Amino acid sequence: MTGIVEAVPNFSEGRDPAFVRAAASAFADAGCEVLHTTMDPDHHRSVVTAIGSPASVEEGAVAAAALALKRIDMRRHRGVHPRIGALDVLPFVPLHGIDMAGAAELAHRAAARIARLGIPVYLYGAASKPRGRGLASIRRGGFEALAARPRRGRAAADLYGRGRGHSGDPVAEAHAHRFVHPTAGAACIGAREVLLAWNVDIEGVPLAEAREIAAGIREAGGGFGGLRALALLLRGQNRLQIAMNLEDPAATDPLIVFRTIEHRVRGLGGRVAGTEVIGMLPDQISPGAARRMRVRDWSEARMLRRRVQSYLAARSPSDAGSAA
């Protein structure tokens, strides 16, 4: 059975289209299929979505990390999105013919190779030990807070590079967390299930009230399970948005989250202008739900299951019917 993995690297560069093209090419040159790219100048962030065999996705990820190390200087980076590194987040998502344990092993291999480039690595999700470390705790305070931590012990690159530890080794991780590359920061590498990364644009309410809406709907505030939410003002685009990650769209219906935001915004005299999905759409957003949520740039080509089926049909027709 053909193993298919999705990689969704997030880079701290959202203003240089040439960088995004180069990052996508790093995956394509490794034999992956690039499904989607996006960038935003206010977030100062770009996201590449690629699928392929575990080996090709690993090669693409390491090449993209090297590109980010070369081209991005975190000392000059300013954006509204939380971040700690040039290659800020690198999740591996098992899609077909590989389980979560296999995706975690892939994350460990990629983490070791990226650490040998000199980039400290934090593990999260199913790849961390203990399993389930979240991004919020790692990125609290951003690159600046990480850079200010005391530099004691040995660098992650030394621990991983000489084979005395690996990315699942708690001792290696303890030292890795005290280090930051002076220009590239650190990378969060993990394994997870398919999630929904999306932004709901709102109008007619002040930022303070948008923050109250975000606080009320996220899991930490007693809202929807698995929902992470922030209110962000994109000054360059004159847009106010609720930026969200929904970790389990099968357990929490995105349309219900959208309707809740819409209801609360209307109660404050504002309106929802539309929805932006970052990367691919999970099965839970049907064409009808996409219309109801006013998803921008929706097409069947944005449906993850359809793209995985197409990928498999071109390479392993016998596997295509059981994809995703």
Question: Catalytic residue positions?
Answer: 81
Q: Which residues of 91-122 are buried (b: 16+ CB within 10 A; e: fewer)?
A: bbbbbbbbebebbbbbbbbbbbbbbebbbbbb
Stated length of the chain: 324
3-state secondary structure of 83: coil
22 bridge partner residues: none
User: Judging by DSSP bridges, how do beta strands 196-203 and 10-11 pair with one another?
Assistant: unpaired
Distance CA 55, CA 250 (A): 29
In angstroms, the Cα distances linking 213 to 44, 268, 285 are 24, 10, 22
* Other Cβ atoms within 10 Å of 15 Cβ, number: 16
Report which of 83, 63, 74 is spatially closest to residue 23, judged by C-alpha positions: 63
In angstroms, the Cα distances linking 51 to 48, 55, 304 are 10, 11, 10
For residue 142, what is the enclosing H or E element?
helix 142-147
Q: Are 303 and 280 in contact (CB under 8 A)?
A: yes
Rg (CA), the chain: 19
For residue 122, give the DSSP letter. Answer: E
124 bridge partner residues: 190
* Other Cβ atoms within 10 Å of 315 Cβ, number: 14
